[in-house]
């Protein structure tokens, strides 16, 4: 059965939910204590030897024999804000009218029953913080109309012979000399079955702020490095942090949260998580 779609109609969320709203907490946030304990020299040497083994110009033996005279620790801070949103739109779909189509038809004619409002249809994501698209056939949106392609004639002119009925022989038998072929659009039914489909698009947006990352280290490597979680936030809309000891992180948090609440007026925020101060360690060796 063929099934196609027409233009997509977008529906912004109800005003009170789409409105940007960054509240300021009265209570200070609680941060996990962070202690920068020194790494054992052997651990540092093991990492160094492991790294040297992948370099042609360096000798692992020489690396094993190196003597560490000093170690400098530096800390980088990472603030992550994940926003899980949903976007709803409705498209008009159609298929040839058949027995299964009739079974889903509304008993009342169009206009007498109210179509469901897109944002009032209960839909939940299969998994939070994962991109996904869900489609739902909306009830009370069924319409049956005549097929405009064949003008309800159920068949159209044969393009191979232009209705001259010369389609004969083994190679060209599209119309069997009838001059007409079955309408592909309605598969010979003469009528089309229209209905509306709700499309719910769930998206996960990640925003990240890194502070104290040396220019020689790619940000991607820092963000995947192990660190200590200093603060976690979870909510429909998280509040920005404001009492962390590093003011740049507070400012970035405020900027990112405010932006996330207003960047997509067509979307509704379902949930946000913020992870703050995931401290990474960079070690500078003096050999
Ligand atoms: Zn047709
Ligand atoms: Zn023909």
Tens-place pLDDT, residues 166-181? 776 545 567 877 888 8
Closest CA to 252 of 261, 241, 262, 263: 241
Tell me how far apart the alpha carbons of residues 243 and 254 are, in angstroms, rounded to a whole number: 11
Neighbour count for residue 267 (Cβ, 10 Å): 21
Asked if the model's pLDDT at residue 17 lies above 60, the reply is no
The alpha carbon of 58 and the centre of ligand 1 are apart by a number of angstroms equal to 74
Contact 75, 281 (CB under 8 A): yes
Contact 123, 197 (CB under 8 A): no
Q: What is the mean pLDDT of the chain?
A: 81
Enter the tokens of residue 281: 């360690």
Is the ipTM value over 0.90, yes or no?
yes
Relative to beta strand 132-137, strand 155-157 is unpaired
| pLDDT (mean) for 232-246 | 90
Tell me how far apart the alpha carbons of residues 249 and 265 are, in angstroms, rounded to a whole number: 26
List C-alpha distances in Å: 62 to 129, 208, 287: 47, 39, 12
The confidence band for 18, taking pLDDT boundaries of 50, 70 and 90, is: very low
The confidence band for 20, taking pLDDT boundaries of 50, 70 and 90, is: very low
Ligand nearest to the Cα of 162, by number:
2
* Residue-level pLDDT at 169: 58
* Residue-level pLDDT at 108: 56
Neighbour count for residue 17 (Cβ, 10 Å): 15
Asked if the model's pLDDT at residue 279 lies above 60, the reply is no
Ligand nearest to the Cα of 186, by number:
1
Ranges 14-23, 130-139, 162-171: which has the least confidence: 14-23
Asked if the model's pLDDT at residue 23 lies above 70, the reply is no
| pLDDT (mean) for 248-264 | 92
* Residue-level pLDDT at 103: 43
Asked if the model's pLDDT at residue 182 lies above 60, the reply is yes
Percent of the chain with pLDDT over 90: 29
Closest CA to 22 of 262, 206, 188, 198: 262
Q: What are phi and psi of 78, to 5 degrees?
A: -130, 125
The tokens 């977008």 sit on which residue? 10
The alpha carbon of 153 and the centre of ligand 1 are apart by a number of angstroms equal to 7
Q: Which of 15-24, 102-111, 169-178, 256-265 has the highest mean pLDDT?
A: 256-265
Enter the tokens of residue 248: 């740049």
Closest CA to 222 of 95, 52, 75, 103: 75
Task: Please give the span between the terminal C-alpha atoms of the chain, in angstroms, as a whole number.
Answer: 73
The alpha carbon of 181 and the centre of ligand 2 are apart by a number of angstroms equal to 7
* Residue-level pLDDT at 266: 87
The burial of 28, by beta-carbon neighbours within 10 Å (0-12 exposed, 13-18 middle, 19 or more buried), is given as exposed
The confidence band for 135, taking pLDDT boundaries of 50, 70 and 90, is: very high
225 Cα distance to chain centroid: 24
* Higher per-residue pLDDT: 23 or 135: 135
* Residue-level pLDDT at 284: 60
Beta strands in 132-225 (DSSP E): 132-137, 143-146, 155-157, 180-182, 191-211
| pLDDT (mean) for 97-117 | 62
DSSP class of residue 279?
B
Asked if the model's pLDDT at residue 268 lies above 60, the reply is yes
Asked if the model's pLDDT at residue 88 lies above 90, the reply is yes
**What are the residues whose beta carbon lies below 5 Å from ligand 2 (ion)?**
158, 160-161, 167, 175
Q: Which of 127-131, 183-187, 274-278 has the highest mean pLDDT?
A: 127-131
Enter the tokens of residue 97: 């009218």
Asked if the model's pLDDT at residue 2 lies above 50, the reply is no
Ligand nearest to the Cα of 149, by number:
1
The alpha carbon of 183 and the centre of ligand 1 are apart by a number of angstroms equal to 5
Ranges 14-18, 98-102, 210-214: which has the least confidence: 98-102
Neighbour count for residue 84 (Cβ, 10 Å): 21
């Amino acid at each position: 059965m063929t099934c196609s779609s027409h233009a997509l109609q977008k529906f912004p969320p109800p005003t009170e939910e789409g409105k940007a709203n960054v509240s300021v907490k009265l209570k200070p946030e609680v941060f996990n204590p962070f202690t920068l304990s020194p790494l054992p020299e052997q651990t540092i040497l093991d990492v160094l030897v492991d790294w040297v083994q992948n370099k042609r110009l360096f000798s692992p033996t020489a690396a094993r024999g190196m003597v560490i005279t000093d170690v400098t620790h530096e800390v980088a801070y990472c603030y992550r804000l994940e926003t899980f949103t949903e976007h709803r739109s409705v498209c008009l779909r159609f298929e040839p009218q058949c027995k299964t189509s009739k079974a889903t038809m509304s008993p009342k004619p169009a206009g007498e029953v109210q179509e469901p409002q897109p944002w009032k249809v209960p839909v939940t994501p299969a998994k939070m913080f994962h991109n996904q698209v869900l489609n739902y056939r909306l009830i009370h949106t069924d319409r049956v109309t005549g097929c405009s392609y064949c003008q309800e004639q159920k068949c159209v002119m044969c393009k191979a012979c232009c209705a001259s009925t010369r389609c004969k022989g083994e190679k060209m038998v599209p119309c069997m000399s009838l001059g007409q072929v079955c309408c592909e659009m309605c598969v010979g039914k003469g009528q089309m079955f229209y209905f509306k489909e709700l499309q719910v698009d769930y998206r996960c947006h990640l925003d990240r702020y890194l502070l104290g990352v040396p220019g020689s280290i790619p940000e991607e490597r820092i963000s995947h490095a192990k660190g200590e979680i200093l603060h976690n936030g979870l909510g429909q809309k998280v509040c920005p942090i404001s009492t962390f000891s590093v003011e740049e992180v507070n400012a970035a948090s405020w900027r990112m949260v405010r932006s996330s609440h207003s960047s997509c007026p067509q979307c509704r925020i379902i949930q946000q998580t913020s992870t703050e101060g995931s401290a990474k360690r960079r070690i500078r060796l003096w050999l």
